[in-house]
Each structure stands twice: as C-alpha cells, then as structure tokens.
Structure 1
Amino acid sequence: MTKRVMILATDGFEQSELFDPKANLEDAGFETEIVSLESGEIKGWDEDDWGKSIAVDKTVDEIANCEGYDALLLPGGQINPDLLRVNERAVAIVREFDAAGKPIAAICHAPWLLIEAGVIDGKTATCYTSIRTDLENAGAKVVDQEVAEDGNIITSRNPDDIPAFSEALIAQLKSDVREAA
C-alpha cells in the first residue's frame, strides 16, 4: 500500500517549500494530499510576491484524525504557519501526528506550529533565523544545520535545505516501510 503524506498549508506558504518537497515525495513513490483551512485553492508566496496556487484536497475540518496518513509536511513562509497556528483544528492535527509517532517535517517558519502544538520541548530542531528564539523559549535545543532530526520531528531552515529536508522525510517513510514488513 502506498504511503500518504498530508501537506498542511494555507495562503502564503513559501512556494518552493511546498512544491519541491511534494514533487520529491511523489518522485519517491509517495502520495501527497493538500489539507488547508478552506476548500478551493491556496496561493503561495514566491520570494517577494504572490506565486502559484494549488488545489486543496481536504479541509482541516474534514480530517477526523491522522489515520490513513503516514507523515505530515509543514511548509514554511511567514504567513502560512502564522495563520495555521491560530486554528485549533490545524494545531490538533500536529498533536495527533506527534502522539502517533508519525514523521512531522517542518521547514523555515513552520516550527511555529510545533511550538503551538507543544511538541518541540526537549527536541533538537532548526528553523529560519528569525524564529530561533521562539524555538528556544519553547524548550527546543536549536542547531544551525540544514536538517535536524529528533525522533519523528524533522526540521530545516530555508529553501536551500529542501534537498536534505526531503531526503530525511523520505528516509523516515522508507524506514517505516521496512519496519512494517
């Protein structure tokens, strides 16, 4: 059975941090599904202006729990995680994936969601420079490297880290496949 990755995002996601990992996951044989706050389409942010849109497959309110998904991908951008972290259901989804021990991959500003969900305390993590203090204040051990893995939590700093970020998530998904066999 093909592994499925939920991509939780809304308007203002960093375009490369959604589209590139999504393509990398699909190229590796995994299915992806876009989950957002509202149905229709969400629009990305591309460096200094609005970018491409992508269709939403389901809304957060249509997700009963994290069953049927094998991992959670949280793209960054400044706007996207800031909007998601004030939505109770979006934050609950992050908590559910963590409680189930399923991989959660957060890049750039997306660790704000890990903070809001209360799942980062005591973990080693990385993020975009401007939110490092937020992560430290939430109890994380912050490192400055392209990818940090601590249990099921995978974090990266910025779009330059996407190759390593994608590889880490794909490796955890493949490792899980071997363990289940």
Structure 2
Amino acid sequence: MADKPLAGRVIAVMLANGFDEIEFTEPQKKLIEAGAVTKVVSRANGLVNGWYEGSWGHFFPVDVDLAETLAVDFDGLVVPGGFRAVEKLAEDPHAKRVLKAFMRASMPVAVIGDAGKLLVVNEVAKGRTVTSSEDVRAELEAAGASWEETPVVVEGSLVTANGAEGVREAMDRFIEVVAAYEREADAQAA
C-alpha cells in the first residue's frame, strides 16, 4: 500500500481544449503510478485537444461531462494550465462551480501554471500563498494572493505549481496532500 498511496482514490482532471499537454500527461502518470484512477472532466464533447510545443497536440478522451461533475464523487482535483484552456474554463459556469466546491470543502486541489488565473476568477486567491506561471502573477497579486517565485507552493490542501518546470514536484506534494486528507477523513469516520 505504501507504494500505491492513492489506491482506490479517484482524481478529477479538469481540461478544456488548448490545455498544456505536459501539464496533463505528467500529473496523470504520477497519479496512476500512485494507484489513483484519473478521470478527465471537460465540456469538450468526447475528446479534448491538448496544446504541445506551439501547436495543437493529441486528443484525449473525456470521462465525465463537466456539467455532471460533483466534487463529492472525487478525492481531489488537478487543473493543468495552458492559456487557451484556462480562458475557456474561466468563462464556464460548471468549471467555476466544480473548483469552488473543492476549495470550499478544503479538498485537495492542484493548480498548475496558467490555471492559477482560475483562483482569481473564482475569488479564492485572496490571502493565499501561491505560485503560477509568470503570466498570471500580476492577476494573483492584484486579487490579494502572496505570489512566490518557486516551482511549487503547498498551502493546506492547495498545491500550486509554476508550470511544466514544477509539475513533477507538485504531483509528489499533491499525492502527499491527498493521502493525508484521506487518512484524516478515515479517522473522523471511525
């Protein structure tokens, strides 16, 4: 069990067309290695298209329509960056609802790179210590967040990463956060 700390856990990965492919595939690999099941949640119909090295990348299957996604059905949420995807998610009422539900319940959330903007859009950045892509720094600071120039910041159940550079470390930390959250939930249920 120690080598699969997330065995039996289901992690939502929220995507929109134009997401940064590396910021999706690296976390997905790490989570699966840790024993988790990942479910792609998106408004894209059937397949969602990544962005890789300056052009459109691969298509990935969508497991759950974002409109039907509930935080209670998952053990954590990962939101990869990619400004094209983040712009779409920032306008989507279901994306806002899902992120807010995870944050309100203090459930494990990992926000990578440009996705830091979603903390601003959802008005959950104020008073938090975070990192993100440099492109989102000013928006986070203007919204009242304390921004750190570091690959990863962990604050409670929120893990933020500066992008592809910090994504592996962020997933290691996110796995620790999810495992600790689950241990606490199990202890409270006992």
**Under a length normalisation based on structure 1, what TM-score does the superposition of the two structures give?**
0.96
Matched, 1:59 2:55: no
Q: 2:106 aligns with which of 101, 114, 120?
A: 101
On the 8 A contact 2:17/2:44 being kept in 1, the answer is: no
Secondary structure, aligned partner of 2:91: coil
Q: Does 1:176 align with 2:161?
A: no
Q: Which residue of 2 aligns with 1:17?
A: 23
CA shift digits 1:43-81 (9 cap, x unpaired): 110021111110001111112x21120111000011111
Unmatched tracts of structure 1, length 5 or more: none
Correspondence 1:1-181 to 2 at 5 A: 2-63=8-69, 65-179=70-184, 180-181=186-187
Is contact 1:6-1:32 (8 Å) kept? yes
Counterparts of 1:110 and 1:178 in 2: how far apart (Å)? 28
**Bigger helix fraction:** 2
Please state whether the residue corresponding to 1:110 is helix, strand or coil: helix
Distance in 2 (alpha carbons) for counterparts of 1:102 and 1:177? 10
How many angstroms does 1:3 deviate by? 1.0
Deviation at 1:160, TM superposition (A): 1.4
Give 3-state SS (helix, strand or coil) of 2:180's partner: helix
SS in 2 for 1:149: strand
Distance 1:107 1:114 in 2: 11
C-alpha deviation, 1:153, in angstroms: 1.3
Distance 2:175 2:121 in 1: 25
Segments of structure 2 that go 5 or more residues without pairing to the other structure are 1-6
Q: Percent identity?
A: 28
Matched to 1:13, the amino acid is F
Question: How well do the aligned residues superpose, as a CA RMSD in angstroms?
Answer: 1.1
- Number of corresponding residues: 180
Following superposition, the deviation at residue 143 of structure 1 comes to 0.2
> Are the aligned partners of 1:75 and 1:108 in contact in 2 as well (CA < 8 Å)?
yes
SS of corresponding position for 2:77: strand
- Would you say the 8 A contact 2:132–2:161 is kept in 1? yes
Where 1:120 maps in the other structure, the secondary structure is coil
Offset at 1:178? 2.5
TM-superposition CA deviations, 1:8-64 (whole Å, max 9, x none): 00100000000110110010001110000132101110021111110001111112x
Where 1:67 maps in the other structure, the secondary structure is helix
Q: Distance in 2 between matches of 1:143 and 1:9?
A: 25
Alpha-carbon distance, 1:175 to partner: 1.2
